[in-house]
Structure 1
Amino acid sequence: MSAVLDRPPPRAGLRAAAAPIAAAVVVAVLLRVPFLFTGLSTDEGGYAYVARQWARGDLLYSDVWLDRPQGLLLTYRALLAIDESGWAIRLGVVLAGAILTVAVAAIGWGLAGRAAGVVAAWLYAVVGVAPHLEGMTLNGELLASVPSTVSIALAVLWWRRGRSLWWLAGAGVLAGVALTMKQSGIDGVLVGLLVLVLARRGKPVPVFLAGVALPLLASALHGLAVGWSAYWTALVGYQLSALGGSGSNASTRWTDLGRQAGDIALGVVPVLLVSLLGWRVLDRGARRLLGVWLFAGFIGINLGGSYWPHYFVQPLPALVVLAAVAVIGVRAGWRRWALAAVATVPTLVWLAALVPMSPGGRADTIPYDALAARDDRIAAVIRASTGPDDRIYVLESEAYLYFAADREASYPYLWGKPIDKIPDALPRLRAMLASPQRPVLVVLDTPPAAVDPSGGIAADLAAYYHPETTVEGVPILRANP
Structure 2
Amino acid sequence: MPAPLTHAARPSQVSQAARGMRDPAGRDWATAGLLVAALLAIAAWLPFLDRPLTSDESGFLLLARQWHPGSSLYGDYWVDRPPLLLWLFSLADHLGHTRATTLGVISPGVKVVGAAASGAAVALTGVLTSLIAPHASRSRHLAVALAVALLSSPLLGMPETDGELLALPFVLLGMVCSVLALRRPYEHPTVVVAAAAGASAMAAALVKQNVVDVFVFAGVAVVVLRGRVERPGARVAGFAVGALAVLGTALAGAWIRGTSATGLWDAIVVFRLEASAAIGSSASPATTERLTRLVEAFVASGAAAVLVLAAGAVLAHLLGSRRTERAEGTHPTALFAYPVAALVGWELFGVMVGGSYWMHYLVGLVPGLVALVAIAADIAVGRTSQRVLRLVVAYTAAATVAVWAHHATATVTVSPDDQVMGYLREHARATDGVVVGFGHPDIVAGSGLASPYEQLWSLPVRVRDPQVVELRHVMAGPAAPRWVVAAGTSLDTWGLDAAGATDAQHYLQEHYVDRVEYGDWHVWQRREGGTR
Change (3 A) 1:251 1:112: farther
Aligned twin of 2:166 = 143
Tell me the alpha carbon deviations over residues 48-67 of structure 1, each in whole angstroms, 9 at most, x when there is no partner. Answer: 11111116977644622111
Deviation at 1:103, TM superposition (A): 1.4
* Match 1:44 to one of 57, 69, 73: 57
Q: CA separation in 2, counterparts of 1:338 and 1:153?
A: 27
Q: CA separation in 1, counterparts of 2:431 and 2:69?
A: 13
Q: CA separation in 2, counterparts of 1:262 and 1:243?
A: 20
Q: CA separation in 2, counterparts of 1:432 and 1:251?
A: 25
Aligned twin of 2:114 = 93
Deviation at 1:116, TM superposition (A): 1.3
TM-score, normalising length: structure 1: 0.87
SS of match in other structure, 1:138: coil
Tell me the alpha carbon deviations over residues 419-453 of structure 1, each in whole angstroms, 9 at most, x when there is no partner. Answer: 22225562211222233421111122455232654
Contact 2:418/2:443 (8 A) holds in 1: yes
Q: Which moved more, 1:389-398 or 1:256-265?
A: 256-265
Q: CA separation in 1, counterparts of 2:488 and 2:261?
A: 33
Q: Which moved more, 1:270-279 or 1:206-215?
A: 270-279
Q: CA separation in 2, counterparts of 1:172 and 1:27?
A: 30
Aligned twin of 1:396 = 438
Aligned twin of 2:218 = 192
* Match 1:285 to one of 332, 335, 338: 335
Percent same amino acid among aligned pairs? 22
Q: CA separation in 2, counterparts of 1:344 and 1:223?
A: 41
Q: Indicate the RMSD between aligned Cα atoms, in angstroms.
A: 3.0
Q: Which amino acid is the alignment partner of residue 342 of structure 1?
A: Y
Tell me the alpha carbon deviations over residues 253-289 of structure 1, each in whole angstroms, 9 at most, x when there is no partner. Answer: 9983553223333235622312333314674322112
Change (3 A) 1:233 1:11: farther
Q: CA separation in 1, counterparts of 2:424 and 2:22?
A: 60
Change (3 A) 1:135 1:303: same
Q: CA separation in 2, counterparts of 1:446 and 1:10?
A: 70
Deviation at 1:186, TM superposition (A): 0.3
Q: Which moved more, 1:456-465 or 1:202-211?
A: 456-465
Change (3 A) 1:30 1:55: farther
Q: Which moved more, 1:331-340 or 1:162-171?
A: 331-340
Q: Which runs of 5+ in 1 are unaligned?
A: 364-369
* Match 1:221 to one of 226, 248, 252: 252
Q: Which amino acid is the alignment partner of residue 402 of structure 1?
A: V
Q: Which moved more, 1:43-52 or 1:114-123?
A: 114-123
* Match 1:273 to one of 305, 310, 321: 305
Contact 2:194/2:236 (8 A) holds in 1: no
TM-score, normalising length: structure 2: 0.79
Deviation at 1:42, TM superposition (A): 1.1
* Match 2:506 to one of 459, 468, 471: 459
Q: CA separation in 2, counterparts of 1:358 and 1:216?
A: 42
Q: Which moved more, 1:41-50 or 1:278-287?
A: 278-287
Q: CA separation in 2, counterparts of 1:317 and 1:277?
A: 16
Aligned twin of 1:123 = 146
Deviation at 1:180, TM superposition (A): 0.8
Tell me the alpha carbon deviations over residues 382-435 of structure 1, each in whole angstroms, 9 at most, x when there is no partner. Answer: 122222232111121111112222211121111111122225562211222233
Q: CA separation in 2, counterparts of 1:241 and 1:335?
A: 44
Tell me the alpha carbon deviations over residues 340-397 of structure 1, each in whole angstroms, 9 at most, x when there is no partner. Answer: 2232222221123346x562xxx3xxxxxx46x5534432321222222321111211
Larger radius of gyration: 2
Contact 1:398/1:445 (8 A) holds in 2: no
Change (3 A) 1:351 1:327: farther
Q: CA separation in 2, counterparts of 1:331 and 1:78?
A: 47
How many equivalent pairs are there? 467
For 1:398-437, list aligned pairs within 5 A. Answer: 398-423=440-465, 426-437=468-479
Deviation at 1:29, TM superposition (A): 1.2
Q: Which runs of 5+ in 2 are unaligned?
A: 1-8, 99-106, 318-330
Change (3 A) 1:146 1:253: farther
Q: CA separation in 1, counterparts of 2:240 and 2:372?
A: 27
* Match 2:493 to one of 420, 440, 450: 450
For 1:265-344, list aligned pairs within 5 A. Answer: 265-267=296-298, 270-278=302-310, 279=314, 280=316, 283-302=333-352, 304-327=354-377, 329=380, 331=383, 335=388, 337-344=390-397
Deviation at 1:44, TM superposition (A): 0.7
Q: CA separation in 1, counterparts of 2:43 and 2:49?
A: 11
Q: Which moved more, 1:149-158 or 1:193-202?
A: 193-202
* Match 2:516 to one of 466, 469, 472: 469
Change (3 A) 1:148 1:46: same
Q: CA separation in 2, counterparts of 1:229 and 1:102?
A: 37
Q: CA separation in 2, counterparts of 1:188 and 1:275?
A: 19
For 1:3-82, list aligned pairs within 5 A. Answer: 7=17, 8-9=20-21, 12=24, 14-54=27-67, 60-61=73-74, 63-82=76-95
Tell me the alpha carbon deviations over residues 219-243 of structure 1, each in whole angstroms, 9 at most, x when there is no partner. Answer: 3335655344433322223333455
Q: CA separation in 1, counterparts of 2:21 and 2:416?
A: 56
Aligned twin of 1:103 = 124
Aligned twin of 1:367 = none
Contact 1:131/1:267 (8 A) holds in 2: no
Contact 1:272/1:319 (8 A) holds in 2: no
SS of match in other structure, 1:277: helix
Contact 1:253/1:306 (8 A) holds in 2: no
Q: Which amino acid is the alignment partner of residue 353 of structure 1?
A: H
Deviation at 1:459, TM superposition (A): 1.3
Change (3 A) 1:422 1:30: same
Contact 2:184/2:190 (8 A) holds in 1: no
* Match 1:156 to one of 146, 166, 179: 179
Contact 1:394/1:401 (8 A) holds in 2: yes
Q: CA separation in 2, counterparts of 1:24 and 1:277?
A: 24
Change (3 A) 1:413 1:145: same
Q: CA separation in 2, counterparts of 1:335 and 1:243?
A: 39
Q: Which amino acid is the alignment partner of residue 181 of structure 1?
A: V
* Match 2:266 to one of 221, 230, 233: 233
